[in-house]
Structures are given as structure tokens and as C-alpha cells.
A and B are shown apart, each in its own frame.
Chain A
């Protein structure tokens, strides 16, 4: 039957040459998902793919919650042990499916590594029900320690740095930056927030809307207005996707521009980042490691770019992250303390050894 398919003229390769190693076909429906994938994970994959669940932390939490359902629904087949079977035969297909919807974030990678280690540590003689309960409990503790309390602590520390009359600039949307601003505001601090944003996700608009609804003084601009407002700024707070071991910040594309201009205008740049986002990987540029989103996300419906694929030699590049050089960053606020960017590998090692 496959041979009967009509011969389609060979399509032009629309991938950008120096990002070619990063292109992945994205799964956008559950039609071809393998049958091992748990329904909770199926739903989560689609939500991640269309950015309903977006942001490094939100995706991490949602993934571990979904894995809890996977573990709860798991029964060890006869002749196998949970320790040997769960990771390779049950967890792996879930992870593969999630990765096919949207590439796994660095914090998710860290959590998966931790979970696999936990599973491998389960004693073979432990009854299945008890082992499952222990694992779910461990996930809860992990989430609380590494995300919930970490966020609270970071927000508390960072909010303490906001003074009355400050003008805080932030880029796009970071949950921990939002939490920090809300906390400072609820403590009675009166300050102004400038939200810088960019196409195509316009995440900053959601942050601005949330702040405005609380009655905060918010100014909103896109990257084209950045250099005109930066002179009045007193502090720049940035969220992170990951902190690299060479002290560089891996975050939503455009962050590097904000940090660069802030550095040029002598404004302090403070990164708020949980240690779960630290990685031993290093990055020198934004090209070796990145995520390329589908180019069609940049096409406005009915706009001039409709049918851009028919235009020969035209490529559209929609990358998700960029790497900010360490010299643009003044401080990283983590739940284990405020550190300079050079201390990232140290904290990462400490976190891993104690965990």
C-alpha cells in the first residue's frame, strides 16, 4: 500500500543551516503515541507542546505529578522486579513521548536523573505497594524542597532587595520573579515594574496583566523600547531556564539583550534561579545547545508570511533560548544563598552530593 502513494515533489529543506542539529519533529497529537504512555502524560505532552504549560518550573512540577500517576497505576509484571522494570519499560516511553512534544528542559532532566536514582535505590524485597508509596512520597518531598520552598525562599530574599521607589525591569515571564514582585508589593513596598517582552510568545503580557490587576504600577514595552526606558531602571530581575557551569545564563531568547543593555547602563542584573536548574553543562554560544520551535509560530494568520514555505530560499528561525555571558550578571539568588555566577559549579556539586 505504501508504494501506491503519489510521488510528491521533493520539498525544500527549510531548516537553518547552523541550527540543523537542533530540529526535531514535534508530536502534536496523541495519534501515534505508543500505547505504554499514561493518559496523564499524554495530556501533559500536548499542554507542553502548545505552551499551555510553559516555563521550566511549571513543566518540572507537572511532569513529576504525572509520573506519580504513572507510578500509582503501575503493577510489576510477574517475573520482574520494580527496580529493574519500572525505569526502562514504563518511565522511558513516557519521557520519550514528552520529549517528542517539546524537548525536555534542563530542570526536568535533573529531576528525571534523580527519580531514576531513587527507583534504583528501592530494595528488591520491598513489597510493591510500599515501594510505590515511598516513591510517590519521595517525589512530593523533592517537589517541596527543590521547588516550593526554594521559590518561597528566593522570593523572600529577592523581595528584601526591592526598596520603595525602585524601578524594576524584568523580561518575559518568570514565576519566581512574579512571586518576588508580589511579595514585595504585599509587604507594602511601592515600586514600578517595567516588563519587556517579545514575539511570538508574549509571556510578559501575562505577567503585566497579573501585576496590573493587583494595582501595581506597570510599564510595558517590547525590545524596541528597551534602550529608551533602561536609564530609569534601578534593578533588573531575570528568570532562568538553566544556569550553566561556566556561569552563563540560559534563558528565554532576548534575555541576553536585556542583560547587555542593563550592563551598559550600569544597572545591577540579578538572576533568580532554583538550584534544580543548575547543570554541569557549559555553553559558549546559543547555537550548540538550544531549542528550535516550529517556524509557523511566527506567522501571523492572514499576514504577509502566509505560505512562506513556497518562497524559495527563505528560512524562518524561531529559537527559544539564548545564552547570557556571565559578565553581564551581578548576582544569582538561589535557595542556598546569593552567589556570583562563578559559583554555579560549586553549588551544583554541593546540591548533587547532598541530594
Chain B
């Protein structure tokens, strides 16, 4: 996953260090070129780099009101996504940050507006209102049902930021009024088309404060807002660091003893999941090597040299505990053997590159034949994915999500003139349709593929989904 060569090739760690010294604009350009050159690749490093960059943008940029900040973040996000449109995690993080800024704005507004007296605003009252969608939510999100008043869901904050929520829940609870429409008009500098559902019209007109008074107050509160947003981004970064361990916490619910599990390529998420299960159970893992793009890393992983992504020192390599040391028997097979060996496999566990809103996923090439062979043998397929990989984008042309790699790793110059005479394809990713997946495990819990659209809706605001005009990219 991480580049194998040592030395001074720029990577995520180098980029993080450079952030301290460089100006905001230099850092943006720097990340764009790193993404373009694929020196930062794979969803997690890309997501982290994006979040780090946006933190700098929010913290250092001179902005006076939220509208300008949102516009600026959108602009930065658009440039990042254009640099590498197939890393959907970049766009996801930008959307999360945008949504968070809008939330902060809402709360701030509410805070200011509360002195204009909204009679409905008491927490006790709020809790007594039935929440129709609560039952469909993941169990860990109990905090959020305070804001679920059934009017529309976009007010929800990401479940993964509980600390932020607790500090502000009182504001959200304090008012049963969906203020998003008024907020949106106030913040958007360009008067863009109204994206909020018409049902969201405020029944309490008097709760919308006067815009002029507000903007004046807002300037005063910019400092607090800045701190809040930076805090929020840091929570996203924390989430990115913990996500694998959070997913691994569900391992024992899904793996029984003496099981035969098939996986492919070298994913830290899957690796940690299996390690966690190995604490309590004994089982066998079959690993398909995922030739020709990821086999080196896979071979290193089965040899107990899976790099620990948490270790930041680049001069000292730290490895995760090997699966074998945890008591697991590991069988390495070629990709061609997948169908032959599937009759002995109990469960297939796949890692992903990105998950799209229809429940399908983009994963390392070879994932589709594994999922299809599992379907042919009625073997359940489990997909492990952090919530940050869930993208609200829903392209209908799935081939547009697929990145192609170096054909030289399939037919090289050692094969002589063959190179120039024939067409050679080396796709890096596969699209796996949702009907081939039985279960998703995210850091929020386990979900059916058909439920993913709800989690997507919980995490992104509809007005942020198309912030980058995706039709221009594909």
C-alpha cells in the first residue's frame, strides 16, 4: 500500500511535514501534484492528506463569513478532485468538511437567534416528539435522534463526531425548526438554486433572525467558528486513524472457529480484522495474491512484513503482528485458483477502495471474480469499509471509476517485440455490483448493501453532493 521504496520520494508523511512551513496556496498545489503523480494514493492516505490540507485552509485562510469559507473549500475541493477524480475519498472528506461548516453556521445562527425567542425550544419537548426514522439507524447513533425530527434528514451530523455533537446538541435540540433554508440563502453568496426540499419551510417565521444583525455578530464569532471547524476536521482525522480498529472490533461477531476465510491483496483493514478475530478463534485464511499490481505487498504481508500505517517514522519500519504469529494458518494461492478453492471457503472478506451509494464497491482488481465465484458457490461475501470511503456519487458508467495501471507489469520489455505489437490492459480496480455483496461492515456497524444509501445520506448534505460538478469530470 505505502510505497515500498525508501528515500526521499514525497509521500503522505513528507506532505504532512511540509504543511507546517509552506503557505496555504503552495500546500494546495503541492497536494494536487502529489495526487496527480499518484505519490499519495489509496483511499486512506488521500483522505488524510485532504483533511490535513483543509485544516490548514480553515485555520490560516482569512475569511470573514461562512459563505466565503464554504466557497473557498468548494474551490479547493474541486481542484483536488480534478487532480485525481477516481479517489472518491478526497471528495468525501471535502463534503464532510463542508457539511460540518454548514452545521456550525446553523448552530451559530441558532445561538444568535435564540434570543428572538422560539417557544418550541426545549430539549424535553424535543425528546417527546416521535422520531420515525430512528429505528432504521445504526445502534451507535443514539445521540443523533435528538435532531431527528422527521422533517428532513439532512440536518443530521455525522455519527462519527460524537464529542462535537454533545457540545452542541443543546442548540440543535433547542429548536424544532428546520432552519436550513433560511441559512442556505443567507450563506450562499451566489444565490444558487434552492436545493432544500420544499417541505422544509419553516413553520415559525419569527425564528429567522434579521440577516444584518446576524452577519455583524458573525464577524465577532469567526474566531470561535474557526476553532470549531478546525476541531471538527481534527475529529475526522482521528476517525481516519481509528477506523480500522473500530471495524476490527466487530470481528468476533462474524468469524467462528475453524473457519476458512478467503481474501485478496494486502489491506490493513482486513488484516486487523483477522488479527482481532485470531485473539479468540483459530481459523484458516486463504489469500489470493492479486497479481500483477499488489502481489509484492501481498507476499510481504504473508511473510509477516505488513507495514503498520500508524507508524510515522519513515526511517524505521514497523510491521504489524503477522497473522501466523496470531495462530492463523495462511495459504497463499494464485488468482486463477479462486474458483477451484471456493468450494472449501466459508466466507469471503474483501477490502474496498471506495463504496458508492447504490451499495456497489470499487476494489482492487480481481475482487469481482472473487465475489462472482463466491456467489456461484453461495458463499457469503463481507466487505470491510470505513465510512469515509462511502461516496454519495453514483456514476452510471462504472468503467469511469476504474483506473488503469502500468501494462509493463504484465508484458515488459523482456518479452521483446511483443510489447509494441499487442494491446495490453492492466486495470487496477474492479467494480463489484451490490448484488454480489452480502454484508458491509463499517466503523458504525454491519449493514445490508441496500441500506448504505441511508448512511450516505446521514453523512453528506444534499447541497454538497455535487460541489464539484462531476459531469464535467467524467
Contact = CB atoms under 8 A, between A and B. Distances in A.
B462 interface: no
B303 A305 contact: yes
A219 B425 contact: yes
A205 B418 contact: yes
B418 A212 contact: yes
17 contacts: A208-B418, A212-B421, A219-B425, A222-B291, A222-B335, A224-B365, A224-B366, A253-B336, A254-B336, A261-B372, A286-B339, A303-B299, A311-B324, A313-B330, A314-B324, A319-B340, A321-B340
Interface in A297-327: 298, 303-305, 308, 311-319, 321-325
Contacts of A212: 418, 421-422
B430 interface: yes
B340 A287 contact: yes
B305 interface: yes
Contact of A290 (B290, B339, B340): B340
Nearest to B331: A315
B411 A225 contact: no
A241 to B, nearest CB: 13
Nearest to A192: B423
A228 interface: yes
Interface string A192-217: 00000011100001001100110000
B194 interface: no
Nearest to B326: A313
A200 B423 contact: no
A18 B324 CA distance: 19
A211 to B, nearest CB: 8
A205 B419 CA distance: 11
Of A200, A256, A257, A311, most B-chain CB atoms within 10 Å: A257
A317 B423 contact: no
Contacts of B427: 224-225, 228
Contacts of B337: 253-254, 317, 319, 322
A54 interface: no
B465 to A, nearest CB: 27
A331 interface: no
Contacts of A17: 284
B328 to A, nearest CB: 7
A282 interface: no
Interface in A237-266: 252-254, 256-257, 260-261, 264
A18 B411 contact: no
Contact of B329 (A224, A225, A313): A313
A314 B376 CA distance: 28
Contact of B424 (A219, A257, A313, A322): A219
A40 interface: no
B373 A260 contact: yes
Contacts of A312: 324
Interface residues of A, number: 54
Contacts of A224: 290-293, 335, 365-366, 426-427, 430
B310 to A, nearest CB: 22
Contacts of B72: none
A227 interface: yes
Given A222-B291, A224-B366, A229-B425, A303 B331 contact: no
A131 interface: no
B217 interface: no
Contacts of B332: 298, 305, 314-317
Nearest to A171: B336
B432 to A, nearest CB: 9
B56 interface: no
A52 B347 CA distance: 38
Contacts of A264: 372
A304 B296 CA distance: 7
B343 interface: yes
B189 interface: no
Contacts of A313: 324, 327-330
A142 interface: no
Nearest to A303: B299
Contacts of A253: 334, 336-337, 340
A283 B331 CA distance: 24
Contacts of A316: 331-333
B369 interface: yes
B321 interface: no
Contacts of A229: 425
Contacts of B119: none
Contact of B372 (A260, A290, A317, A323): A260
A41 interface: no
A316 B332 CA distance: 5
A33 interface: no
